[in-house]
């Protein structure tokens, strides 16, 4: 072949190759409908170029498929399945370094349907972006399977829309839109499946108790080595020591129900409402294959907080004395309480409980009983209406001690009074005379007084006689006795004047402690002597006058 022939062949080959590029760009996309456009970047450095520009021809397309790693779905619920979208792209012409330019599916939209079957895909169209050969996409789908659906395989139809570059050469790209329909099977199993049919608890707000969940196997086969795990969705409810707890129940036959107890506790601030719990059952199928049935859900409402009320409260409190607060304690529910004790819970220094508490026994919900709590009021206390804090201690159904603190009563504190009252019927005495006075003593303590000794005191011009003490072996509350004392007047007592006498009492109180009362003053009036003689002052003045007159007469005679 001569040199001219060789040149002619080369030119012809180049023309044929150029024509091939143009024909290929007009071809349709594989696997679905397509539209085609071409673009060119003359400089080869444009920022909008979708791929690095090369003079090498690259031609190909994406090849999409789908798979389900776990195709099993369960009747009676909405199942979550993960669809994997795989791109096994094809390259007709080109090098490995440039294959991504034509195998990448861009702007991918996926729609799944379950036509001609009882299943329903709840997930709408999903935008997935780009799917490359080396990066499959996991697509979550929600598939509802009605109760009663027969076990077996059911087909899902997967429509995928995307765009891609079919050919790239010398800065010219040919883009296409494509739609492909794919299919994948899901398997409706006859494995055991479960439902919580009832949840109850005897736990109260602020306390702990037992939560019982009743679980039913609504599947077609038995479950073996089953473990039921429940979890609380609220900080107000704990199962065991944490938010979740698990119990092993063994085997559960189809249609069988089992009731599983869990330790449950509610915080003291938890409102009385329904609390959500979720769970799952881990088990082995009849074939010995481990399986987990998720999606258990239920709600549980605690019993209200245990409360008590104090009613019909009466008070005998008085400043400086011992008294009592009496009333009725009512178990306002919602459950029975054992070993109920009324406790004084105040912190006022002038109110001192003689006994810190009073036991009243067990009370059913709504039941009431009387209580009495002895209390002493200090002498520095103010009289009037006082708020007194109480607490109710009890034991719950589990024998655990609990305290209800929100109890307060209003109690009247009477003003201070004398421990004893004294009365003298005749409160007079003759000038320069003596007499026996009878003093009526009344016990105002509100309790018995024993070994009562009274002592009389007097100041000039009054004096006590030989009998200046009185005694009573005992004196009940409110009881009176009469004591006799001797009283005399001195020569300086002026008729018509009033002078005080004083008495005090030493006694033993109801506890056997020795006490000394305050001092009581009684006025005594001095009256003229009934003998007719002149009073000493008058006699003294008269004698002084007579003496003075006699002295004057004597001097005149001298």
Domain boundaries, the chain: 6-188, 194-300, 308-413, 420-527
539-to-122, 183, 305, 480, 543 alpha-carbon distances in Å? 131, 146, 91, 45, 6
Are residues 154 and 113 in contact, defined by beta-carbon separation less than 8 angstroms? no
pLDDT of residue 542: 56
114-147 confidence digits (pLDDT tens):
988 999 999 999 999 999 999 899 999 999 999 8
User: Model confidence at 546, in pLDDT bands (50, 70, 90)?
Assistant: low
Indicate the burial class of 153 (C-beta count within 10 angstroms; 0-12, 13-18, 19 or more).
exposed
Instruction: Please give the structure tokens belonging to residue 485.
Output: 């004392």
Given a cut of 70, is residue 505 above it in pLDDT? Answer: yes
Given a cut of 70, is residue 36 above it in pLDDT? Answer: no
Q: Collapsing DSSP states into helix, strand and coil, what is residue 544?
A: helix
pLDDT of residue 170: 81
Separation between Cα atoms, residue 227 and residue 244, nearest integer Å: 13
- What's the rounded mean pLDDT across residues 244-257? 95
Record: fold of 420-527: Immunoglobulin-like (2.60.40)
67-83 confidence digits (pLDDT tens):
998 999 988 889 999 99
User: Model confidence at 553, in pLDDT bands (50, 70, 90)?
Assistant: low
Cis ω on the peptide bond leading into residue 461 (within 30° of 0)?
yes
Range of weakest confidence among 302-306, 333-337, 518-522, 528-532 = 528-532
Given a cut of 80, is residue 51 above it in pLDDT? Answer: no
pLDDT of residue 162: 97
* CATH 2.60.40.10 is right for the domain spanning 6-188: yes
Instruction: Please give the structure tokens belonging to residue 437.
Output: 């006075």
Given a cut of 50, is residue 20 above it in pLDDT? Answer: no
pLDDT of residue 470: 92
Decide whether 6-188 matches 420-527 in CATH topology. Answer: yes
Q: Collapsing DSSP states into helix, strand and coil, what is residue 297?
A: strand
- What's the rounded mean pLDDT across residues 492-513? 92
User: Model confidence at 25, in pLDDT bands (50, 70, 90)?
Assistant: very low
pLDDT of residue 16: 36
Q: Which residues make beta-bridge pairs with 552? A: none
Q: How wide is the angle at C-alpha 519 spanned by C-alphas 516 and 521, nearest 5°?
A: 155
CATH class of 308-413: mainly beta
pLDDT of residue 217: 95
Given a cut of 50, is residue 374 above it in pLDDT? Answer: yes
Between residues 76 and 209, the one the model is more confident about = 209
Are residues 301 and 275 in contact, defined by beta-carbon separation less than 8 angstroms? yes
Indicate the burial class of 128 (C-beta count within 10 angstroms; 0-12, 13-18, 19 or more).
middle
- Cβ atoms within 10 Å, residue 404: 20
- What's the rounded mean pLDDT across residues 215-223? 93
- What's the rounded mean pLDDT across residues 244-253? 95
262-321 confidence digits (pLDDT tens):
999 999 899 999 999 999 999 999 989 999 998 899 999 999 999 999 999 999 999 988
Q: Collapsing DSSP states into helix, strand and coil, what is residue 213?
A: strand
- What's the rounded mean pLDDT across residues 97-117? 93
pLDDT of residue 272: 93
pLDDT of residue 556: 62
pTM, full prediction: 0.58
Separation between Cα atoms, residue 234 and residue 132, nearest integer Å: 43
pLDDT of residue 554: 62
**b/e map of 461-496 (b: 16 or more CB within 10 Å)?**
bbebeeebebebeebeeeeebebebebbbeeebeee
480-500 confidence digits (pLDDT tens):
999 999 999 987 888 989 999
Range of weakest confidence among 25-39, 150-164, 256-270, 443-457 = 25-39
pLDDT of residue 220: 86
Separation between Cα atoms, residue 184 and residue 187, nearest integer Å: 10
Q: Collapsing DSSP states into helix, strand and coil, what is residue 30?
A: coil
pLDDT of residue 551: 67
User: Model confidence at 549, in pLDDT bands (50, 70, 90)?
Assistant: low
pLDDT of residue 435: 92
Range of weakest confidence among 22-26, 214-218, 406-410, 413-417 = 22-26
CATH class of 194-300: mainly beta
End-to-end CA distance of the chain: 210
Phi and psi torsions of 159, nearest 5°: -100, 125
Given a cut of 60, is residue 28 above it in pLDDT? Answer: no
Given a cut of 60, is residue 346 above it in pLDDT? Answer: yes
């Amino acid at each position: 072949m001569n040199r001219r022939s060789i040149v002619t062949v080369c030119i012809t080959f180049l023309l044929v190759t150029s024509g091939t590029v143009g024909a290929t760009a007009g071809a349709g996309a594989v696997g679905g409908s397509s539209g085609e456009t071409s673009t060119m970047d003359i400089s080869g450095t444009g920022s909008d170029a979708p791929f690095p520009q090369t003079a090498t021809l690259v031609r190909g397309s994406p090849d999409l498929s789908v798979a389900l790693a776990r195709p099993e779905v369960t009747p009676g619920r909405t199942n979550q399945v993960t669809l994997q979208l795989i791109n096994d792209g094809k390259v007709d012409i080109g090098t490995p370094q440039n294959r991504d330019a034509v195998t990448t599916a861009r702007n991918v939209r996926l729609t799944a349907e379950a036509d001609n079957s009882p299943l329903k895909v709840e997930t709408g169209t999903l935008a997935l972006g780009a799917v490359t050969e080396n990066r499959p996409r996991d697509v979550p789908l929600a598939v509802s399977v009605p109760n009663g659906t027969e076990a077996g395989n059911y087909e899902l139809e997967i429509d995928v829309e995307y765009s891609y570059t079919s050919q790239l050469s010398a800065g010219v790209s040919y883009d296409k839109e494509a739609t492909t329909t794919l299919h994948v099977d899901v398997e409706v199993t006859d494995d055991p499946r479960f439902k919580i049919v009832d949840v109850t608890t005897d736990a109260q707000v602020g306390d702990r108790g037992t939560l019982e969940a009743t679980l039913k196997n609504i599947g077609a086969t038995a479950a073996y080595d089953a473990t039921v795990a429940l979890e609380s969705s609220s900080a107000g409810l704990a199962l065991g020591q944490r938010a979740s707890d698990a119990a092993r129940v063994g085997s559960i036959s189809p249609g069988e129900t089992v009731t599983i107890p869990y330790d449950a506790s509610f915080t003291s601030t938890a409102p009385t409402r329904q609390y959500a719990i979720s769970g799952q059952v881990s088990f082995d199928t009849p074939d010995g294959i481990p399986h987990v049935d998720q999606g258990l859900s239920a709600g549980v409402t605690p019993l209200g907080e245990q409360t008590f009320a104090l009613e019909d409260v009466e008070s005998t409190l008085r400043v400086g004395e011992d008294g009592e607060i009496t009333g009725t304690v009512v178990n306002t529910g919602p459950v029975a309480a054992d070993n109920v004790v009324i406790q004084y819970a105040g912190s006022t220094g002038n109110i001192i409980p003689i006994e810190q508490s009073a036991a009243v026994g067990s009370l059913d919900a709504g039941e009431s009983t009387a209580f009495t709590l002895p209390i002493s009021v200090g002498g520095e206390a103010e009289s009037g209406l006082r708020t007194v804090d109480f607490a109710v201690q009890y034991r719950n159904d589990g024998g655990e001690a609990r305290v209800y603190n929100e109890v307060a009563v209003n109690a009247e504190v009477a003003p201070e009074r004398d421990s004893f009252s004294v009365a003298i019927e005749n409160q007079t005495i003759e000038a320069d005379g003596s007499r026996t006075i009878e003093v009526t003593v009344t016990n105002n303590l509100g309790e018995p007084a024993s070994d009562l000794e009274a002592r009389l005191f007097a100041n000039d011009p009054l004096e006590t006689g030989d009998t200046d003490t009185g005694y009573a072996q005992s004196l009940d509350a409110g009881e009176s006795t009469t004591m006799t004392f001797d009283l005399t007047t001195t020569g300086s007592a002026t008729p018509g004047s009033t002078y005080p006498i004083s008495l005090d009492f030493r006694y033993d109180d109801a506890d056997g402690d020795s006490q000394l009362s305050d001092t009581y003053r009684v006025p005594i009036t001095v009256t003229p002597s009934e003998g007719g003689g002149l009073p000493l002052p008058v006699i003294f003045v008269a004698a002084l006058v007579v003496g003075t007159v006699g002295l004057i007469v004597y001097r005149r005679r001298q």
